Amino acid sequence: MIRSIIVDDEPRARSLLENLINNYCSNVEIIATAEDVLSGIKMINLHQPDLIFLDVQMPNYDGFSLLDQFEDKPFKFVFTTAYEEYAQKALDLNALGYLLKPIDIDELVKIVNKYEVNSKKSTQERAIEIEKHIKLNREKGTLVIPCVSGLLNLKLEDILYIKAEGRKTDFFCKDSLKLTSNISLKKCESILKRTPFIRIHK
């Protein structure tokens, strides 16, 4: 599910867009709406959305000002506006889309589908990048794995057991040390073939 926020100063525009999304984009969940840039920033920080539908012209600050508050944008954004003249600036900012009001349903669906395609590509690219760093040295009895804190070099003899935790994997080691890696248990199983480790469950 794509978690989304609508930022628009017009109540009717917010309601209309939310209804269109609910009726034609079943893979999108509107988790919050905001009536101006300041409340939009607050909602983004609070809910950490995947996608933002952002009006351009609003009182006090415009939609571009909202984006300026996030140096590393952990979300994608779509501009929704009645004005064509901001399209080039939106393109320069790498906006996912530019929807002119009144919003065309087909264009809305197309942009949501574009988000899903890009998201799947990003997930695959991250998985490939992660796998590049996984290394097993049988002679030294060590395993290099990517964790939240960076790459860790573990001695196989220090690993007590490995447990699946959703799509991630927890490594339980000596001295009550627990490490979480983004690699799957299935990947661990393939890496640790012909070692003392045997998979008995998840």
Query: What confidence tens digit (pLDDT) does each residue in 80-115 have?
Result: 999 999 998 998 898 999 999 999 999 999 999 999
The dihedral built from the CA positions of residue 55, 57, 58 and 62, taken in this order, carries a sign that is positive
What local confidence, expressed as pLDDT, does residue 126 receive? 64
Question: Which residues of the chain carry a pLDDT beneath 50?
Answer: none
Query: What confidence tens digit (pLDDT) does each residue in 151-160 have?
Result: 778 899 999 9
How big is the chain, counted in residues? 202
| Of residues 82, 75, 93, 83, the one with CA closest to residue 32 | 75
Which tokens hold the place of 57?
A: 């012209």
| Of residues 153, 170, 152, 150, the one with CA closest to residue 161 | 170
> What does DSSP say about strands 2-7 and 28-34: parallel, antiparallel, or unpaired?
parallel
Sequence-ordered alpha helix ranges (H) in the chain? 11-24, 37-47, 63-68, 87-92, 105-132, 185-191
| Of residues 17, 5, 34, the one with CA closest to residue 109 | 17
